[in-house]
């Protein structure tokens, strides 16, 4: 790039041997389109550099360049961050794109897989299948990258059986802020390992995973019940029965389900990890009631099951393509179920409110099961009490309108005001919400103080940073978040107390 190169650009170029295929800077033609590629087009972002290292040593060299230039660093595997946090979340960060980290092998004695963080979930499924009909829990979008997904939680239909994606992690290789390359496990650098399993983006760049795998399931039933006739208010009774069903503590872990509500109506779908005879005996249709169009598909091959999930994801998320969108999320557990009256209010709201777009949807996804078997402080992932998650989205071809934002915000306000204690359950960090007043407290809850202590040791300069990342203990940013969290708790306390008086 000639004499106009900045010191940072020259440094990165040298670190990568001058190979122009391994880096891009803002002066490059089509930099934003070809290299930056933000996922949420409503959040503008311009990184200082996009890098494409091939080895852990090169990752370490890039981090040193960023530290020397006093700029922040974030890793990108698939790049599906709702807040563009895999691009730093703010202008001027160095992005380490892990697309070249595609290593894969399977130990046929331990059935432990060694996997690169740049592996997309769709490719991971195929590689595990080909290596011995193995599988692990993960989400349904095939374009999502393992690196971010498995270190933030990684929830999917099989999580009730096997846990979250991060529960499969047995060891990682990570590059830290001081450019050292460490192996971490329950016995080697255990504090860093604990932090990685839920908050890795704040601590370093994972360059390799060793993962526990499971035998692929046998016969699997996919089911779908469509409620598309009548008003939303008329569908509230069915949703109440769905919530009652999933709230049963004796519900089999073979059962995964979600509710998707959009302009076309309400669809209740899911997976039963067992033979059709078992599913038929479950008698799902009578449990839901209402007038629906029912469809079931029986699969006897795992790739077919995962492929069907991918088709389902594409219908909602446009195949993982970048778009303009606005999203909010909430977490519910068995003690914070949505009261019937609030469900009625919510569904009536969907009938009457102006939405500002035809592309909107709400998703209630069942969690629990094996994910909740693990103590909340066993990993930095803090939502071991979650029963189901709620996501709401408004999508536009151009800038999201105020009407759409107000519509989505109104849904969440209705639920928060109607369900005492729901705000105390926090938010899943995989569903980034840049508007949260105290994101870290919401994402990591009571695990946040320990994360801040570890951060102060391994990244005191806050090199691995985004607007809602973990801050080093004792930093100005950390103390400011603490005060925001205390004020929020006081507001919640007085609001609940007022409701009892």
Establish if 317 belongs to a structural domain: no
Closest C-alpha to 52, from 84, 11, 9, 19: 19
**Which among 188, 256, 266 is positioned nearest to 231, based on CA atoms?**
266
CA 139/CA 120 separation, integer angstroms:
11
Give the model confidence (pLDDT) of 307-334 as tens digits.
Answer: 999 988 776 665 578 999 999 999 999 9
Cα 305 to Cα 272: distance, rounded to the nearest angstrom? 11
- With 70 as the cut, is the pLDDT of residue 27 above it? yes
DSSP lists the bridge partners of residue 359 as 395
Instruction: Locate 403 and state its tokens.
Output: 């009407």
One domain, residues 467 and 394: no
Q: What is the pLDDT of residues 441-463, one digit of tens each?
A: 999 999 999 999 999 999 999 99
Q: Provide the pairing of β-strand 94-97 with 73-76.
A: parallel
Residue 488 and residue 373 share a domain: no
- End-of-domain residue from the set 215, 241, 272: 215
- pLDDT exceeds cutoff 50 at 3: no
Number of domains in the chain: 4
The pLDDT of residue 478 is 60
Per-residue pLDDT, averaged over 65-89, amounts to: 97
Q: Tell me, yes or no, whether 375 lies in a domain.
A: yes
Q: What is the pTM of this model?
A: 0.93
- What pLDDT score was predicted for residue 64? 98
Structure-token pair, residue 11 = 């440094």
Q: Which residues make beta-bridge pairs with 210?
A: 114, 171
Report yes or no on 309 lying in a domain: no
Q: Which two tokens stand for residue 75?
A: 């890793």
β-strand 220-227 against 293-299: which pairing, if any? Answer: antiparallel
Do 360 and 407 reside in the same domain of the chain?
Answer: yes
Sign of CA dihedral 389, 442, 139, 85: positive
**Rounded CA gap, 311 and 23, in Å?**
33
**From CA 80, how far away is CA 85, in angstroms rounded?**
9
Looking at the fold, whether 352 and 458 belong to one and the same domain comes out as no
Confidence check: pLDDT of 501 > 50: no
Q: Are residues 384 and 481 in the same domain?
A: no
Q: Give the pLDDT confidence score for residue 313 in this predicted structure.
A: 79
Residue 144 to residue 455: CA distance in whole angstroms: 26
Ramachandran area for residue 195 (φ above 0: left; ψ -120 to 50: alpha; else beta): alpha
Res 494 pLDDT > 50: no
Give the domain-ending residue among 215, 232, 267: 215
Task: Quick: pLDDT tens for 235-292.
Answer: 999 999 999 999 999 999 999 999 999 999 999 999 999 999 999 999 999 999 989 9
**For residues 303 and 126, is the Cβ–Cβ distance under 8 A?**
yes
Kindly compute the dihedral angle of the four CA atoms of residues 126, 128, 130, 131, in this order, to the nearest 10 degrees: 160
Asked if residue 187 belongs to a domain, the reply is yes
Give the pLDDT score at 41: 96
- DSSP secondary structure string for all residues of 37-48: --SBTTS----S
pLDDT number for residue 491: 52
Q: Considering the domain boundaries, does residue 274 fall inside one?
A: yes
Q: So what's the pLDDT on residue 2?
A: 36
How confident is the model at residue 314, as a pLDDT? 77
- What mean pLDDT is predicted for residues 207-228? 97
Residue 200 sits in the same domain as residue 291 = no
Q: How far apart are CA 87 and CA 45, in angstroms?
A: 8
Mean pLDDT of the chain: 93
Q: Which of 95, 45, 39, 55 is nearest to 71 (CA)?
A: 95
Q: 394 pairs with which residues across the strands?
A: 326, 360
Q: Which CATH number belongs to the domain containing residue 52 in this structure?
A: 3.30.43.10
Q: How many CA atoms lie within 13 A of 335 on its CB side?
A: 7
User: What pLDDT digit, counting tens, does each position of 130-156 carry?
Assistant: 999 999 999 999 999 999 999 999 999
User: Structural domain of residue 82, as residue ranges?
Assistant: 2-97
Alpha carbons within 13 A on the beta-carbon side of 87: 24
Examine the fold and report which residue of 186, 215, 244 is the final residue of a domain before the chain moves on: 215
211 and 290 inside one domain: no
Residues 228 and 204 in one domain: no
Sign of the Cα pseudo-torsion (99, 468, 59, 457, in order): negative
């Amino acid at each position: 790039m000639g004499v106009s190169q900045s010191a940072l650009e020259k440094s990165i170029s040298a670190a990568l041997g001058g190979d122009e295929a391994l880096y891009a800077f803002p002066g490059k033609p089509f930099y934003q389109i070809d290299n930056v590629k933000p996922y949420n087009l409503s959040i503008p972002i311009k990184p200082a550099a996009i890098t494409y290292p091939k080895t852990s040593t090169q990752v370490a060299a890039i981090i040193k360049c960023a530290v020397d230039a006093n700029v922040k660093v974030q890793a990108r595997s698939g790049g599906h961050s709702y807040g563009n946090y895999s691009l730093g979340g703010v202008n001027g960060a160095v992005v380490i794109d892990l697309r070249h980290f595609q290593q894969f092998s399977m130990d046929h004695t331990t059935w432990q897989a060694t996997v690169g963080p740049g592996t997309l979930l769709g490719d991971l499924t195929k590689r595990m299948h080909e290596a011995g009909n193995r599988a692990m829990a993960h989400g349904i979008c095939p374009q999502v990258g393992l690196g971010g997904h498995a270190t933030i939680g990684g929830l999917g239909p099989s999580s009730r059986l096997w846990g979250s994606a991060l529960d499969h992690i047995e060891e990682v290789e990570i590059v830290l802020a001081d450019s050292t390359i460490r192996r971490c496990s329950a016995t080697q650098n255990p504090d860093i390992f604990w932090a990685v399993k839920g908050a890795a983006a704040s601590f370093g760049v994972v360059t390799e995973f060793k993962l526990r795998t499971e035998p692929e399931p046998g016969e699997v039933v996919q089911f779908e019940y469509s409620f598309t006739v009548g008003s939303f208010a008329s569908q509230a009774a069915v949703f109440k029965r769905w919530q009652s069903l999933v709230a049963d503590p004796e519900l089999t872990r073979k059962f995964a389900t979600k509710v998707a509500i959009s302009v076309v109506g309400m669809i209740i779908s899911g997976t039963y990890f067992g033979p059709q005879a078992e599913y038929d005996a479950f008698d799902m249709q009578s449990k839901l009631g209402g007038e629906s169009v029912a469809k079931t598909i029986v699969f006897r091959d795992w790739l077919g099951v995962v492929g069907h999930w991918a088709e389902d994801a594409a219908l909602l998320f446009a195949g993982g393509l970048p778009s303009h969108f606005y999203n909010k999320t909430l977490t519910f557990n068995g003690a914070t179920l949505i009261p019937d009256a609030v469900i009625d209010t919510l569904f009536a709201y969907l009938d009457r409110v102006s939405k500002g777009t035809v592309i909107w949807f709400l998703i209630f996804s069942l969690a629990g099961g094996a994910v909740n078997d693990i103590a909340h402080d066993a990993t930095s992932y803090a939502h071991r009490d979650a029963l189901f998650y709620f996501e709401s989205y408004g999508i536009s071809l151009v800038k999201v309108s105020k009407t759409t934002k107000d519509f989505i915000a109104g849904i969440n306000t209705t639920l928060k005001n109607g369900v005492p204690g729901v705000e105390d359950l926090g938010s899943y960090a995989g569903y980034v919400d840049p508007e949260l007043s105290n994101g870290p407290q919401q994402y990591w809850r009571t695990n946040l103080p320990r994360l801040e202590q570890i951060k102060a040791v391994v990244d005191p300069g806050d090199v691995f940073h985004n607007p809602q990342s973990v801050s080093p203990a004792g930093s100005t940013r950390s103390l400011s978040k603490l005060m925001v969290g205390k004020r929020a708790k006081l507001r919640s306390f007085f609001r609940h107390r007022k409701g009892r008086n």
